[in-house]
Amino acid sequence: MRTTFQGSIVAMVTPFKDGRVDEAKLRELVEFHVTSGTDGIVPCGTTGESPTLSHDEHKRVVEIVVETARGRLPVIAGTGSNSTAEAIDLTRHAAKAGASGALVVNPYYNKPTQEGLYQHFRAVAECADLPIILYNIAGRTAINVETDTLARLARDCKNLVGVKEASGSLDQMTQVILACGPDFSVLSGDDNLTLPLMSVGGRGVISVIANIVPRETVEMTHAALAGDWKHAREMHLKLFPLSRAVFIETNPIPVKEAMAMMGMVEPEFRLPMCRMGAANRERLRTVLVQHGLIKG
């Protein structure tokens, strides 16, 4: 199995209202991405505040996104956990719900060895007939999936079809591309590195800024995929201030605040996520005004 996920795949926020998942707003956001030409949706990832969703809420969000998408774009459900048994349960649910794939993050906090990582991801990959994208983000999980481990997994697990690479290291990303081959989708986990990664063979991005500028993110990634590097570079430079602004505080705080300023969602989080500080909110507002997303 080598399903190719590429282009602009949005790491979608989870909208809340009065402490509960806002299911109506969630459906609106899915429709927004369908009409914007987004290439895929990831519900229940880091940007979707998955650590503070109950398992029932997590599964319900995946079900709603799949139901609303109706096959019009791929839904890649976040199903990772630091418990292999929990990751297997969430991945099996995603498959049953009709998801197109699963995004499985490194086991966090328990800091497994490379052999432990291999056994974890292999167990998840073998639990369901579903394409798997590994999510490698040492900054949040305290462990890096080394390239040799990833290549071993790609060789042994035919449904491991790609990686969301958020190491911040173009050197490591290039090593992965060389080690795993052209049919393995290496996707950026950092919006500001999408074009640099695509220039050496990356296939796109699982994007935070696509929550607010989906069409422009699609335009940049599709230009790169088509080899139109001049236009892709122009779009990268245009989007770069936004890419930086949505990380001036911990993701997903800034992007959700931006969406609230744009009237897309309520600025509601679950602790320990909280509202952005006033000074940073003004910095974010300035960038949104400069980009023409809100009025000054």
43 neighbors 65 (Cβ within 8 angstroms): yes
Largest CA distance in the chain: 54
* Strand-pair partners of 133: 103, 162
Which positions ≥6 away from 150 have C-beta within 8 Å? 134, 136, 163, 176, 179, 180
Q: Which single residue is written with the structure tokens 């579903």?
A: 130
Other CB atoms within a 10 A radius of the CB of residue 110 amount to: 12
- Which residue in 109, 135, 238, 256 is the catalytic one? 135
- Output the six-digit token pair for 44: 């229940």
For the chain, list the strands marked E by DSSP: 7-11, 16-17, 20-21, 40-42, 76-78, 101-105, 132-136, 160-165, 185-188, 204-207
Is there a catalytic annotation at residue 135?
yes
235 neighbors 222 (Cβ within 8 angstroms): no
Report the C-alpha gap between 181 and 14 in whole angstroms: 34
- Which residue in 59, 118, 164, 256 is the catalytic one? 164
Report the C-alpha gap between 270 and 72 in whole angstroms: 30
Is there a catalytic annotation at residue 111?
no
In the 8-state DSSP scheme, what is residue 291?
Answer: T
Which residues carry out catalysis?
Answer: 135, 164
